[in-house]
């Protein structure tokens, strides 16, 4: 039986009760903390074993507890190579090829970015809505709730709408000499920089920006890339020389934690949405003949980067032109054709349409492997087709005429790419004016066989250029045909 303490004075009793309550509260807090820690650990345990080849990202630093462990730092990308009997540990390898065991509760499985909502770097931007609509969206009042809309009174300008102490204030954002400003004292390159500034400091506004009012159906891109394990830290990236200019801006060589990488840098707000659309597609694709996404960086100053594997020998069209038939023999050309076909068969099997397949969008690695890149126009088969600017000489007639894209329109483009390979990088439809290409093709015109191209390969090109999409071969079929040619066997029709 425990002793019961008897308090002789009211003050002593009060002190004793207070101490007892404090002890009970501390005990309860300790139990709650343990429960939360347990939940946190359990939440990262996979419900089913992660299969071999699964990529994961380190959530914390891990020094290792034995010589069999693989140490890593937060942000490192690791690949599962063996599923162990203990569900809390995996054998994995890092980017340098070192292997060892890793604790599952220290890493996060990489996933494809969800496409359920519209990814946006500016989810608070509502486009062309009225002042009344903006005030309705910012109801009920909540100080610091904000959105940005296009100005109705001053076309080309914007309006920042902020809820403050029960009212909505509307601040005109003036576009002047390529910069944006509210007070004509602070100037910003884009809306993202402006919003970022006023979230840190009111700086003359009625309140600092606290909570964005998201446009219906949008998902904040930064949050989604982080959730799915694709965010990278700019502190770990060293930018080097410019190696090309692409759809979204400059492409630079770089170094990420000792690994040579290529970095696509966005130009401005106008291309931001296309940038994240490309990056989100790349998170879902994994194949040896596709240029691999390594991660995405969204900086506070609104600088945006797609980090991919580095392809030392540049784009295929330049590679072909600079070497020519004196350097590249038939075997090399066939293997380039097969590499691209392998990638496209993978996209076909996973219901993706590239829509911009051409030798300029194929890169060559240091060990002469061709990999398909530039997913700026790539769509899932179920996605709606827009009227993006299309490369006429590479695009199938039905896609140009009716915006009817399919795997079979990619097959048409593959036939053009084959012609590029065997003509060593010549521009398709030589000596035919651009405006005459489509009418002539729709009447059945096909390019001649390139000099030195085997008849069997030219026959494949012609089958890719069948005006009836249904009559064109699949990429799986094309892959088998090219494999038969490489192996010296006649292909099966």
264 is in an annotated binding site: yes
Average pLDDT over residues 237-251: 83
State yes or no: pLDDT of 339 exceeds 90. Answer: yes
CATH homologous superfamily of 54-109? SH3 Domains (2.30.30.40)
Instruction: Kindly list the distances between the CA atom of residue 115 and the CA atoms of 118, 225, 374, 383, 385, in Å, as whole numbers in the listed order.
Output: 7, 12, 19, 10, 15
pLDDT at 385: 46
Domain 127-214 sits in CATH 3.30.1050.10: no
Average pLDDT over residues 17-40: 48
Residue 132: active-site member: no
pLDDT at 3: 45
Of 282, 297, 272, 231, which is closest to residue 121 (Cα–Cα)? 272
Weakest-pLDDT range from 83-87, 259-263, 304-308, 480-484? 83-87
pLDDT tier for residue 174 given thresholds of 50, 70 and 90? very high
H, E, C per residue of 289-336: CECCEEEEEECCCCCEEEEEECCCCCEHHHHHHHHCCCCCCHHHHHHH
State yes or no: pLDDT of 367 exceeds 80. Answer: yes
pLDDT at 176: 84
Tell me, yes or no, if the two domains 127-214 and 314-488 fold the same way: no
Cα–Cα distance, 90 to 98 (Å, whole number): 14
pLDDT digits (tens, 9 = 90+) for 415-433: 999 999 999 999 999 999 9
pLDDT tier for residue 277 given thresholds of 50, 70 and 90? confident
For the chain, which residues make up each domain, given as ranges? Answer: 54-109, 127-214, 233-309, 314-488
Q: How many residues does the chain have?
A: 493
pLDDT digits (tens, 9 = 90+) for 51-104: 888 888 888 899 988 899 999 988 888 999 988 888 889 999 998 889 999 999
In sequence order, which residues have a C-beta less than 8 Å from that of residue 3 and are 6 or more positions away?
none
State yes or no: pLDDT of 439 exceeds 60. Answer: yes
pLDDT at 291: 94
Average pLDDT over residues 276-292: 87
State yes or no: pLDDT of 436 exceeds 90. Answer: yes
Weakest-pLDDT range from 234-248, 389-403, 416-430, 432-446? 234-248
Cis peptide before 471 (omega within 30 of 0): no
pLDDT at 163: 96
Phi–psi pair at 475, nearest 5 degrees? -70, -35
pLDDT at 181: 95
Average pLDDT over residues 359-371: 96
Select the CATH number that applies to the domain covering 314-488 from these four: 1.10.510.10, 1.10.4080.10, 2.60.120.10, 3.30.70.1880: 1.10.510.10
Query: Cβ distance 372 to 289 under 8 Å?
Result: yes
pLDDT at 415: 98
Q: What architecture is the 233-309 domain classified under in CATH?
A: 2-Layer Sandwich (3.30)
pLDDT digits (tens, 9 = 90+) for 393-423: 999 999 999 888 999 999 999 999 999 999 9
pLDDT at 389: 67
Give this prediction's pTM: 0.75
State yes or no: pLDDT of 379 exceeds 90. Answer: no
pLDDT at 10: 45
Mean of all residue pLDDT scores within the chain:
85
Query: Cβ distance 203 to 98 under 8 Å?
Result: no
Catalytic residue selected from 339, 356, 374, 410: 356
Return the axis-axis angle of helices 407-422 and 475-486, rounded to nearest 10°.
30
pLDDT at 478: 98
């Amino acid at each position: 039986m425990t002793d019961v303490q008897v308090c002789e004075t009211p003050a002593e009793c009060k002190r004793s009760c207070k101490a007892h309550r404090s002890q009970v509260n501390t005990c309860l807090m300790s139990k709650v903390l343990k429960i939360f820690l347990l939940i946190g650990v359990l939440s990262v345990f996979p419900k089913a074993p992660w299969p071999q080849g699964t990529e994961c990202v380190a959530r914390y630093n891990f020094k290792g507890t034995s010589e069999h462990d693989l140490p890593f730092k937060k942000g490192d990308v690791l690949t599962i190579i063996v599923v162990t009997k203990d569900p809390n540990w995996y054998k994995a390898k890092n980017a340098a090829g070192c292997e060892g065991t890793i604790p599952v509760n220290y890493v996060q499985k990489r996933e494809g970015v969800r496409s359920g909502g519209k990814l946006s770097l500016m989810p608070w931007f509502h486009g062309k809505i009225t002042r009344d609509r903006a005030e309705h969206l910012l109801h009920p009042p909540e100080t610091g709730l904000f959105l940005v809309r296009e100005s109705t009174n001053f076309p080309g300008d914007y309006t920042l709408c902020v809820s403050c102490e029960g009212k909505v204030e509307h601040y005109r954002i003036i576009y002047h000499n390529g910069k944006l400003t509210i007070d004509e004292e602070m100037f910003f390159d884009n809306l993202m920089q402006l919003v970022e500034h006023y979230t840190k400091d009111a700086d003359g506004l009625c309140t600092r920006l606290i909570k964005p009012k998201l446009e219906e159906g949008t998902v904040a891109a930064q949050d989604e890339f982080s959730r799915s394990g694709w965010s990278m830290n700019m502190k770990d990236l060293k930018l080097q020389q410019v190696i090309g200019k692409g759809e979204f801006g400059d492409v630079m060589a770089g170094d990420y934690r000792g690994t040579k990488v290529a970095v696509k840098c966005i130009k401005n707000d106008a291309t931001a949405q296309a940038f994240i659309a490309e990056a989100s597609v790349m998170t879902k694709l994994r194949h040896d003949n596709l240029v691999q996404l390594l991660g995405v960086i969204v900086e506070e100053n609104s600088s945006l980067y797609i980090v991919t594997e580095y392809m030392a020998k540049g784009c295929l069209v330049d590679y072909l032109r600079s070497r020519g038939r004196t350097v590249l023999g038939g075997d090399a050309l066939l293997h380039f054709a097969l590499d691209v076909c392998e990638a496209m068969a993978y996209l076909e099997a996973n219901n993706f349409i590239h829509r911009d397949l051409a030798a300029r969008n194929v890169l060559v690695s240091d060990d002469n492997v061709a990999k398909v890149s530039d997913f700026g126009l790539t769509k899932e088969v179920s996605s709606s087709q827009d009227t993006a600017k299309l490369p006429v000489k590479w695009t199938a007639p039905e896609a140009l005429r009716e915006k009817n894209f399919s795997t079979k329109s990619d097959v048409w483009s593959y036939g053009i790419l084959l012609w590029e390979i065997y003509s060593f990088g010549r521009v398709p439809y030589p000596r035919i004016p651009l405006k005459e290409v489509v009418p002539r093709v729709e009447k059945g015109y096909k390019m001649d066989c390139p000099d030195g191209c085997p008849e069997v390969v030219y026959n494949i090109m012609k089958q890719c250029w069948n005006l009836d999409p249904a009559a064109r071969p699949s990429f799986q079929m094309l892959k088998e045909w090219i494999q038969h040619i490489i192996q010296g066997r006649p292909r099966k029709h």
